[in-house]
Amino acid sequence: MDLISDKELVLSVITEIELLSFPLLTDENKEQIRNLLNECIVLDLDQEIKELTIDFRKKYRIKLPDSIIAASAYTSKAPLLTGDKEFRKIEELNLLIYEF
């Protein structure tokens, strides 16, 4: 994917969990995902992310995992690359919508 090939990738811990928890992943898929994750910065929940998660969840009425992902992207000052158009309602984010 040329869009991200020369970028430092930052992921929420929620994204890491989501990627690795798909029920039909093969061992090869898991290995590929882990290799990708090893190239990324994975953000754990800190106080700033927790507080912003609460704010986003209240303001935009989004699911908890999505609000954590949004808060992680915002606090890291990284654009959020997503295929989920629901993130468009969060006006504070710099979004890159991936359509497949």
Task: Give, as one character, the DSSP assignment of residue 37.
Answer: H
Q: What is the pLDDT of residue 2?
A: 54
User: Model-level pTM?
Assistant: 0.86
Q: What is the pLDDT of residue 25?
A: 94
Residue 1 has pLDDT above 70, yes or no: no
Q: What is the pLDDT of residue 90?
A: 96
Residues 69/75, Cβ–Cβ less than 8 Å: no
Which amino acid, residue 93? L
Q: In which residue are the tokens 């497949």 written?
A: 100
pLDDT digits (tens, 9 = 90+) for 6-47: 778 899 999 999 999 999 999 999 999 999 999 899 999 999
pLDDT digits (tens, 9 = 90+) for 36-70: 999 899 999 999 999 999 999 999 999 999 999 99
